[in-house]
Amino acid sequence: MLSKQSRGLQCFRRADAWLDVHPEVIPASGSSAEALAKQASALKGVISRMTEHGTEQFTQRDQALLVAKDETTLRSELRKRHMKAIVTVATALRGEVPGIGVLRMPPGGIRSEALVKAAESMSTTVAIYEQVLIEQGLPQDFHAQLVAATSALRASVDARGLAMGQRVGATAGVAADFASGRKILSMIDAVLLHALKADSSTLASWRQVRRITIKPVMPRPSDALSSGADALSSGADGLSSGADGLSASVSVPLAVDGSMHASAPAANAPGSTNATPAPLAA
């Protein structure tokens, strides 16, 4: 799925969620209510199909890569274990067995499809010299092994082609759904522009969600750093306030001579235990 198509799918989902949150806008559209309801339902269908096609794209891509890895092993198995053994024995018999020299190795760089054809051609020739080759030391079932290895490589080639074909189909489906979704969104927008002309806040909310963003919305690293700095600053302010409060609660006044002494209750103050007794009258 292309980046623009992925952002379009996000937009379609936002618009669908907005319509679910604001069900009142459909009946509020008056005579267009039925058409708007159909368009909203069609949008849900586009979202569902586009999601399925996008998943199929990734699935078939991975399947093609997996088959390609297996195909490399199967190619090596067919060439080195089966075809080369046959050609080695056939080369040793040249001049002794007429016509056996036609058994040759195919070029090393040929594609898998061409290698399958070369192996099938060798299998046809081997059927003529099968007994001679067995007498020279090849296994009794060497021909059957060659046929099985050829069939395995052919199946791998076919599976890779099938995966690629399904991926191409899914890609075309995504493109078609994206175009259809944009048309549906435009029609919904046209209806809501009239239905919500007296409700500016709801209309502004709709206009925001139905936009296909140029780039995916991502939080900026600077925002995270700024938030962290604000949190640290708030923490420092809190520590400073705490320190100020603690300092005020334990402050000690200075005497006239500059020495520190603890505050004592004023003499003769009510409730003071240090009050000086009044002198007795004569």
How far does CA 65 lie from the centroid of its chain? Answer: 18
Q: Which of 77, 69, 161 lies closest to 119, judged by CA? A: 77
Structural domain boundaries in the chain: 3-209
Amino acid at 248: A
178-223: per-residue pLDDT in tens? 999 999 999 999 999 988 988 999 999 999 998 887 765 555 555 5
Question: What are φ and ψ of residue 254, in 5° steps?
Answer: -95, 140
| 3-209: in CATH 1.20.1260 | yes
46, exposed or middle or buried, with CB in 10 Å at 0-12, 13-18, 19+?
buried
pTM (two decimals)? 0.59
64-75: per-residue pLDDT in tens? 777 777 888 899
